[in-house]
Amino acid sequence: MKKFLLNTALVSGLMFPCLTAGAEELALPQPDNTSALMKIIDARQSGRAYSTKPLSEQELSNVLWAAFGTNSHGKRTIPTGRNLQDLKIFVIYNDKVWLYDGKNNVLNKYSDADLMPYLTTQDFVKQAPVHLIYAGGKKYAEAHSGSAYENVYLYAAENGLATVIRGLIDRDGLHKALNLNDDEVVTYHQTIGYPAE
Ligand SMILES: Cc1cc2nc3c(=O)[nH]c(=O)nc-3n(C[C@H](O)[C@H](O)[C@H](O)COP(=O)(O)O)c2cc1C
């Protein structure tokens, strides 16, 4: 056992010298956050108090484009593993459930089901006028959702909207209600709207 531990220590020390103790510090220059993008990143935050004022269709279009639209050079606004582009964004807007088609910039009516019982684990959720539910192929759904929800955060930060990504949801209930297949998972829910005054 002792020999094994010694060997392990030697090997990890040789193979991963940077992981051994002994601090070497590289003091970085202050980040230059004067550009428009850096200022937006600086402003990003979660918001949990919403006005019931609806989002216009234009704003919704902008939000969804940022999340998973098609950009001016024919690519998605987020990278996707193996270019699968298999993220699904369900949108609760005007009391209906829609599925965003980011290639055609269209919302397709998906369901009349009331999904709010699967989402309202926190009271503020009921106030928000728009809800995004992220789902997709098991392998990359987490990563794809993260890219999309961060873009929505940045759009919100730039445009005076409030948003928060939420994992406190009933994923199994949503999976069934959205009739997803076994290779798909529900990842997160994101509220977006105007901040409460
Ligand atoms: C994967 C993930 C799950 C989260 N789930 C919830 C949630 O269920 N409810 C909530 O209010 N916030 C949730 N958040 C938001 C975090 O609480 C928030 O990002 C964190 O407190 C930092 O605050 P900030 O976003 O304002 O910097 C989640 C964030 C992430 C990344």
Q: What CATH code is carried by the domain that includes residue 93?
A: 3.40.109.10
Better-scored residue on pLDDT, 5 or 49? 49
Look at residue 18 and tell me whether its pLDDT is greater than 90: no
Q: What is the DSSP-derived secondary structure letter of residue 70?
A: B
Which residues are bridge partners to 35 per DSSP? none
Non-local CB neighbours of 140 within 8 Å, separated by 6+ positions: 80, 81, 82, 84, 86
Structural domains counted in the chain:
1
Q: Is 114 among the domain residues?
A: yes
Q: Is 58 among the domain residues?
A: yes
CA 42 → CA 20, 99, 171, distances in Å? Answer: 33, 31, 31
Q: Is 100 among the domain residues?
A: yes
d(CA 98, CA 28): 46
Q: Is 140 among the domain residues?
A: yes
Tell me what the mean pLDDT of segment 100-119 comes to: 97
Tell me what the mean pLDDT of segment 82-109 comes to: 98
Look at residue 33 and tell me whether its pLDDT is greater than 90: yes
pTM listed for this prediction? 0.90
Q: What is the pLDDT of residue 19?
A: 56
Judge if the beta carbon of residue 152 lies within 6 A of ligand 1. Answer: no
Residue among 147, 145, 159 nearest 192 (CA): 159
Instruction: Name the percent of the chain lying above pLDDT 90.
Output: 87
pLDDT, the chain, mean? 92
Look at residue 15 and tell me whether its pLDDT is greater than 60: no
- For the CA of 153, the closest atom of ligand 1 is 25
Q: Is 106 among the domain residues?
A: yes
- For the CA of 48, the closest atom of ligand 1 is 11
Scan for tokens 């798909």, then name that residue. 184
Q: What is the pLDDT of residue 5?
A: 45
Q: What is the pLDDT of residue 95?
A: 94
- For the CA of 149, the closest atom of ligand 1 is 31
- For the CA of 47, the closest atom of ligand 1 is 26
Q: What is the pLDDT of residue 9?
A: 46
Tell me what the mean pLDDT of segment 77-100 comes to: 98
Look at residue 8 and tell me whether its pLDDT is greater than 80: no
Helix orientation angle between 141-159 and 57-68, rounded to the nearest 10 degrees: 140
Judge if the beta carbon of residue 166 lies within 6 A of ligand 1. Answer: yes
Q: Is 121 among the domain residues?
A: yes
Better-scored residue on pLDDT, 37 or 9? 37
Residue among 116, 193, 184, 119 nearest 162 (CA): 193
Predicted confidence band of residue 21 (pLDDT cuts 50, 70, 90): low
Judge if the beta carbon of residue 84 lies within 6 A of ligand 1. Answer: no
Judge if the beta carbon of residue 164 lies within 6 A of ligand 1. Answer: yes
Scan for tokens 């002994």, then name that residue. 22
Scan for tokens 């005076």, then name that residue. 160
Structure tokens at 145: 């959702």
d(CA 193, CA 47): 9
Q: What is the pLDDT of residue 52?
A: 87
In the reported structure, the alpha carbon of residue 190 is separated from the centroid of ligand 1 by a whole-number distance in angstroms of 10
Judge if the beta carbon of residue 48 lies within 6 A of ligand 1. Answer: yes
Domain span holding position 119: 46-193
Non-local CB neighbours of 96 within 8 Å, separated by 6+ positions: 109, 111, 112
